[in-house]
Structure 1
Amino acid sequence: MSISSSLSAGVAGLAANSTRLATISDNIANSSTYGYKKATTEFESMVLNQNRSSGTYSAGGVIAKTGRMISENGPLVPTSNATDIAVNGRGFLPVTTSTSMANDNDDLLMTTTGSFETDKNGVLRTKSGLVLLGWPANADGKIEESTQIRDSVGGLQPVVINANQTAADPTTAITLGVTLPAEDPKPGGYTTTVEYYDNLGARQNLTINYVPSATTPNAWQMTITDPSGTTATCNLTFDSTRGSGGNLASASGGGYDAGTGNLTFNLGGDAQSPLTINIGKPGSQTPMRQLSSNYDPKGIAKNGSPVGNLSGLAIDENGYLQATYDTGFVKTLYQIPLVDMANPNGLTSLDSQTFKISAKSGSFYLWNAGDGPTGTVQGNAREGSTVDVAEELTNLIQTQRAYSSNAKVIQTVDEMLQETTNIKR
């Protein structure tokens, strides 16, 4: 009966608008929640089979479909905490729960932002218990590609930061910016001590002797000696022609490579501890020169640093979590990948602005931040809520009017049914 279907349609309208009111309430309540993705409600009509020739119509009503705009990005909000992390663009940070980590469970969760801090064990986590995951770096700060499993969480590990850690950066390269005198050099030559840092961060000294040839003009013999007594000898000849005068003309011996301008010196005779010493390529502007001036070794430069204490953390746009030490040394500790899938809006929404892979979302893939379809990683920032409060308040007024209208339909049907009952009396 049409009047009965009208009552059913009115009830369906009340239920549908109640659902919409629930999503609006959720959105307004979370308008200041970092990383919150607004919920949406869409109405779809329900149509009953109609017999047009009968001259009657039965109302089908309406049904509400809810969803969440997970792919929509909120504004980035700057913060003062270096380990506040947000995704700028597409992609998700890989996280897990404290319980999953304790149970060695590889259950992957995802979020677009988090305020991460180290706990008493050095684990980087949020106050809600989300643990950040990443690919760990080797002792030398390099990420091995073999650990970067892209379609599984097998290579990911909880990010752990030891607040009391120390690190040293051994010297691997020295540039000999030395000017040798072309006129009246000392017969015994010159000696320079160059400080470097060994593999343990200790200060060591290289002794470098420059002895002029007694028979060949513009020729010198350079001898390098380390604390173990290991030596290397290189014979140098300098150019005296117009335009190239003073630059290195040739060099031989001591592991010198004319193609790179570098001399390779194995500290302690160990091939696993090479030291690259740059003196320049013949025929070019070289750091080592011979000019009519005094002996000048002030242009010597080197890399490396002594042992330093951890002073800060930072994450760059490519997802590299780096530690800074009080010596100025910067070392990569982890690389944080970004998780992506075919349909982000198909993810299952969980508490604390986290999401989980579902059949609707498709399988996930771990990208380097900034590669493929993914965005970048932003440190010192949080992603704001995607809720527009003004829009939600407008929707609230519309929903209230629609609810009242459906209630009026039910009231009218009730009055008509009462009239029908009175006819029988």
Structure 2
Amino acid sequence: MGISSSMNAGVSGLNANANKLGTISDNIANSQTTGYKRADVDFSSLTVNDARKSYSVGGGRGYTAGGVTTTATFDIEAKGQVIGTTNATDIAIAGRGLLPVTSIASAMAGEASQNLMLTSTGSFELDANGYLRTASGLTLLGWPAEADGTVPETPRDSSSPLRPVQVNVSSTASLPTSDIILNANLPATATIAGASGAAERVAIEYFDNLGTSRSLALTFTPTVPASGASNTWTLAITDQASGQPVGSYAITFSAASGNAGNIASVTQLSAGAAPPSSSYDPASGALTLDLGDQVITTQLGATGAAGPHHLTQLSTVFSTSGVSKDGNAAGTFTGLSVDEKGMLSANYSTGFSRVLYQVPVADVPNMNGLRVLDNQSYALSPESGSVFFYDAGTGPTGAIAGFALEQSTTDTAEELTQLIQTQRAYSSNAKIIQTVDEMMQETTNLKR
């Protein structure tokens, strides 16, 4: 048994080193493949029998060669270098974790959550149907956002809430104005006896629900007393879109030391029984304008010394130091972007951005236990354990990086070194077979 088992051991050695050569070849071939994880083989010895129970002629212990076997492994947990690119939807993870993806066929069939796959990086582009996918068909998954850009809480241990990222590139989008801050100064000299009583006017642009530019007309008319100073102005607000008055208020400013020039009181003169209408909150300084189809909060300033103070009465000059507001006009789609938290946003020509999806980062207890698929993708297995989806950058996971790809984990110099070692090991095993063959030939020659 010793000679024939030696030949079998040599053959197993050839097979084992051939497997090793296969992983080296794959590693070198994929040294430029983004997201590729280096493959390797583990060598394990085989024992045919227990040497203590073996028998050999002449006594002593015999030995039967068992040979060697191999098991292929992939170091999925290893991270390649993250490099910058010029594509906003090239996505990598700066740390631990994987991106949830599915095949384009599953995405189009509505079976994305049932056919979950994972990948460490991807160069994603929008296809003709608006799916964000790689050239090989891996389609990115995410949690859909609400119309206001918020992402609802979902179960983190299930892929069911995930949906394929799909974008309507022909869409337009706008954001209606909801907040306005007016920073202005009214001349104190306009409310003293003998002043002209000339009104000061400000037009403030806002955007309605359809993205159309509208404006509010604010008219400040000073109250001119017979003597002294009134420090009071009448504010009349008109919605120029409808031509209807929104409301009017008597605003009195303080002349007291330490609070001079700030709003002392606001008295509502008219507010309208139905939209358009308005109301003022002295604590916050917010003037709420109900225009019917939308509500706009305009910050004038709170009463008292604490503030905040946006509308003041000082000096002799009327000035507006600025009007800040939210909202955007309707704009056309220009592209996508993703931030470190995985918020995937659509960008529009007006500068407006809207969150469409949140891309989570997946993690499993044993990442190297994942089942390896084509195109640098992986599937869950009993060895990997169950998946959990984190917000990017929380828990054990890294932040998501746009304009970035993860390089292959192959070290070409190391692979070439192992190639030489494998070649020598293969030659040595071939020498075993040659030697056994010669010894068996000698045995055959004994009968001659």
TM-score range, shorter chain: over 0.9
How far the C-alpha of 1:70 sits from its partner, in A, is: 0.7
AA paired with 2:235?
A: M
Confirm whether residue 326 of structure 1 aligns to residue 349 of structure 2. Answer: yes
Q: What's the counterpart of residue 338 of structure 2?
A: 315
AA paired with 1:360?
A: E
Aligned residue for 2:118, secondary structure, equals: strand
- TM value normalised by structure 2: 0.88
| Higher deviation after alignment, 229-238 or 5-14 | 229-238
| CA distance in 2 between partners of 1:193 and 1:34 (Å) | 55
Q: What's the counterpart of residue 52 of structure 2?
A: 51
How far the C-alpha of 1:212 sits from its partner, in A, is: 3.0
How far the C-alpha of 1:238 sits from its partner, in A, is: 2.3
How far the C-alpha of 1:413 sits from its partner, in A, is: 1.5
Confirm whether residue 275 of structure 1 aligns to residue 279 of structure 2. Answer: no
Q: CA RMSD in A?
A: 2.1
Task: After superposition, give the CA deviation of every residue in 1:244-283 in whole Å (9 maximum; x if it has no partner).
Answer: 3223334455533344332222223x5xx22111122332
Q: What's the counterpart of residue 143 of structure 2?
A: 135
Q: What's the counterpart of residue 222 of structure 1?
A: 235
* Percent identical residues: 48
How far the C-alpha of 1:316 sits from its partner, in A, is: 0.9
| CA distance in 2 between partners of 1:184 and 1:258 (Å) | 24
Write out aligned runs for 1:162-201 (5 A): 162-185=168-191, 186-187=196-197, 189-201=199-211
- TM value normalised by structure 1: 0.93
How far the C-alpha of 1:46 sits from its partner, in A, is: 2.0
The partner residue of 1:107 within 105, 109, 115 is 115
Write out aligned runs for 1:192-271 (5 A): 192-214=202-224, 217-226=230-239, 227-228=241-242, 229=244, 231-251=246-266, 253=268, 255-268=279-292
Please tell me whether the aligned partners of residues 247 and 285 of structure 1 are also in contact (alpha carbons under 8 angstroms).
no
| Higher deviation after alignment, 71-80 or 46-55 | 46-55
The partner residue of 1:394 within 410, 414, 417 is 417
Aligned residue for 1:299, secondary structure, equals: strand
Please tell me whether the aligned partners of residues 317 and 377 of structure 1 are also in contact (alpha carbons under 8 angstroms).
yes
How far the C-alpha of 1:188 sits from its partner, in A, is: 5.4
Q: What's the counterpart of residue 303 of structure 1?
A: 326
| Higher deviation after alignment, 296-305 or 334-343 | 296-305
Q: What's the counterpart of residue 42 of structure 1?
A: 42
Please tell me whether the aligned partners of residues 212 and 219 of structure 1 are also in contact (alpha carbons under 8 angstroms).
yes
Aligned residue for 1:110, secondary structure, equals: strand
Q: What's the counterpart of residue 429 of structure 2?
A: 406
| CA distance in 2 between partners of 1:302 and 1:24 (Å) | 60
Over 3 Å counting, the alpha-carbon distance change for 1:103 and 1:161 in structure 2 is closer
The partner residue of 2:374 within 328, 337, 351 is 351
| CA distance in 1 between partners of 2:283 and 2:157 (Å) | 42
Matched length:
420
| CA distance in 2 between partners of 1:143 and 1:212 (Å) | 48
Please tell me whether the aligned partners of residues 246 and 291 of structure 2 are also in contact (alpha carbons under 8 angstroms).
no
Write out aligned runs for 1:361-376 (5 A): 361-376=384-399
Q: What's the counterpart of residue 294 of structure 1?
A: 317
| CA distance in 2 between partners of 1:7 and 1:294 (Å) | 104
Aligned residue for 2:28, secondary structure, equals: helix
Name structure 2 gaps, 5 residues minimum.
Answer: 54-58, 269-277
How far the C-alpha of 1:416 sits from its partner, in A, is: 1.6
How far the C-alpha of 1:118 sits from its partner, in A, is: 1.5
Over 3 Å counting, the alpha-carbon distance change for 1:5 and 1:131 in structure 2 is same
Larger CA Rg, structure 1 vs 2: 2
| Higher deviation after alignment, 28-37 or 364-373 | 364-373
Please tell me whether the aligned partners of residues 230 and 267 of structure 1 are also in contact (alpha carbons under 8 angstroms).
no
| CA distance in 2 between partners of 1:316 and 1:348 (Å) | 29
Q: What's the counterpart of residue 21 of structure 1?
A: 21
| Higher deviation after alignment, 292-301 or 238-247 | 238-247
Over 3 Å counting, the alpha-carbon distance change for 1:102 and 1:168 in structure 2 is closer
Aligned residue for 2:51, secondary structure, equals: coil
Task: After superposition, give the CA deviation of every residue in 1:287-334 in whole Å (9 maximum; x if it has no partner).
Answer: 211101211134222222211111222111111111221211122122
Please tell me whether the aligned partners of residues 171 and 304 of structure 1 are also in contact (alpha carbons under 8 angstroms).
yes
The partner residue of 1:122 within 130, 148, 153 is 130
| CA distance in 1 between partners of 2:284 and 2:46 (Å) | 77
Name structure 1 gaps, 5 residues minimum.
Answer: none
Task: After superposition, give the CA deviation of every residue in 1:92-119 in whole Å (9 maximum; x if it has no partner).
Answer: 1111112212332231111111111112
